[in-house]
C-alpha cells in the first residue's frame, strides 16, 4: 500500500536540495533549486531540525511531501542516492516535485473516497486514484512527461463534486472560494459547509470557529489562530496547513492528523 506520509529516514533530503526558496519570513536564506541547503548533513538529515523556527526556517516546519521523497528515493531510483551516484541528481531533483504533486492529489482522492455522502463519485475517484498512482510509479523520463496541470484539473473535477455532495446538507453554507480573508475577525464564526478553497486566511482569527464540512483545499492558514476551533469535520485539511496555523489543546482535528507539539506545550 502506498505511503502518503513523509518518511525522511528513507529519503535523500530531496526537499532540502531539489526545491528553491527565497529569503523571507519563512526562510533565513535564498537557495536555488538543485543546491543542497547548508543545513543538510552528509547522512541527509537536517542539522538544525530541532531549531528550525529559531534559525529562521519556519517554512521547512510546514512542508509536507506526502511521501514523495521516499518514493522517488527508494522506488523511482531504487535506493541510489544523488551523492553516491551523481548521475541521478538532475533527474531525481526533476522527478521529486512531480511526484510530490501527484501524491498530494492521491491524498485528496483518498479523503474523497472516505466521504459517505460522496458515494456517487467514488467510482470516478477510484479511477483517478489508480491513474494518478500509475503516473507516480513511472520512471524518471515518464515523470518528466507528465502534464501535472492537466492531471490536477481532471482530479479537481472529481474533488469538487465530492465536496459539493458532502456539503449539500448544510443550510446557509458560505461561498468564500479564493476570498481575501487575511487577518479576518472570524472568532466563533459559523463556517459549517463553507467553501474556503484557496481562501487567504493568513493571520485570521478563527478561535472557536466551527468548520464542520468546510472545504479547505488550498486555503492558506499561515499564522491563522485556530485555538479552540472545530476542524475535526473539515474537508481536505492537510498536515502542512495545520503546522502553519496556531492552535492549542482545545482545537479539534480530523482523525490521523495529530496536533503539532507546540500546540500542546
8 A C-beta contact, residue 161 and residue 217? no
Helix axis angle, 148-167 relative to 89-113, nearest 10°? Answer: 20
pLDDT (0 to 100) of residue 62: 87
pLDDT (0 to 100) of residue 61: 87
CATH topology of domain 170-265: Pectate Lyase C-like (2.160.20)
Cell 484557496 found at: 198
Residue 2, pLDDT > 90, answer no
Average pLDDT over residues 133-142: 98
Q: What angle do CA 169, 103, 34 make, to 5 degrees?
A: 140
* 20: CB partners within 8 A, 6+ apart: 31, 32, 33
pLDDT (0 to 100) of residue 7: 94
Tell me the pLDDT of the chain averaged across its residues. 96
8 A C-beta contact, residue 253 and residue 259? yes
Q: Which residues pair with 252 in a beta bridge?
A: 230
Average pLDDT over residues 35-42: 96
Average pLDDT over residues 243-252: 96
**Domain locations in the chain as residue ranges:** 8-167, 170-265
pLDDT category at 256 given cuts 50, 70, 90 is: confident
Overall pTM > 0.75? yes
Rounded to whole angstroms, how far apart are CA atoms 10 and 3? 12
pLDDT (0 to 100) of residue 14: 97
The total of other beta-carbon atoms located within 10 Å of residue 185's CB is: 11
Average pLDDT over residues 131-150: 97
pLDDT (0 to 100) of residue 101: 97
pLDDT tens, 149-199? 999 999 999 999 999 999 999 998 999 999 999 999 999 999 999 999 999
Rounded to whole angstroms, how far apart are CA atoms 181 and 175? 13
Rounded to whole angstroms, how far apart are CA atoms 161 and 177? 15
pLDDT (0 to 100) of residue 137: 97
Rounded to whole angstroms, how far apart are CA atoms 178 and 220? 10
Q: Which triple of cell numbers denotes residue 188?
A: 466563533
SS3 210: strand
DSSP 8-state secondary structure symbol assigned to residue 165: H
Amino acid at each position: 500500500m502506498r505511503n502518503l506520509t513523509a518518511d525522511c529516514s528513507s529519503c535523500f533530503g530531496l526537499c532540502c536540495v531539489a526545491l528553491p526558496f527565497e529569503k523571507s519570513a519563512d526562510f533565513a536564506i535564498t537557495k536555488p533549486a538543485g543546491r543542497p541547503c547548508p543545513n543538510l548533513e552528509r547522512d541527509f538529515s537536517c542539522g538544525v531540525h530541532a531549531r528550525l523556527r529559531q534559525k529562521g526556517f519556519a517554512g521547512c516546519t510546514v512542508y509536507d511531501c506526502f511521501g514523495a521523497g521516499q518514493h522517488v528515493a527508494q522506488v523511482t531510483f531504487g535506493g541510489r542516492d544523488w551523492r553516491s551516484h551523481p548521475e541521478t541528481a538532475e533527474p531525481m531533483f526533476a522527478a521529486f516535485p512531480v511526484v510530490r504533486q501527484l501524491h498530494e492529489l492521491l491524498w485528496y482522492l483518498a479523503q474523497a473516497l472516505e466521504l459517505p455522502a460522496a458515494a456517487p463519485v467514488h467510482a470516478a475517484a477510484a479511477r483517478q486514484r489508480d491513474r494518478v498512482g500509475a503516473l507516480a510509479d513511472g520512471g524518471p523520463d515518464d515523470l518528466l512527461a507528465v502534464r501535472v496541470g492537466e492531471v490536477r484539473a481532471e482530479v479537481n473535477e472529481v474533488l469538487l463534486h465530492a465536496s459539493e455532495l458532502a456539503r449539500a446538507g448544510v443550510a446557509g453554507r458560505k461561498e468564500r472560494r479564493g476570498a481575501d480573508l487575511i487577518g479576518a475577525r472570524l472568532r466563533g464564526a459559523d463556517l459549517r459547509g463553507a467553501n474556503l478553497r484557496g481562501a487567504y486566511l493568513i493571520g485570521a482569527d478563527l478561535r472557536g470557529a466551527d468548520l464542520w464540512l468546510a472545504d479547505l483545499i488550498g486555503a492558506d492558514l499561515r499564522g491563522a489562530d485556530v485555538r479552540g476551533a472545530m476542524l475535526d469535520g473539515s474537508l481536505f485539511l492537510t498536515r502542512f496547513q495545520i503546522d502553519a496555523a496556531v492552535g492549542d489543546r482545545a482545537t479539534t482535528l480530523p482523525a490521523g492528523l495529530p496536533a503539532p507539539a507546540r500546540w500542546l506545550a
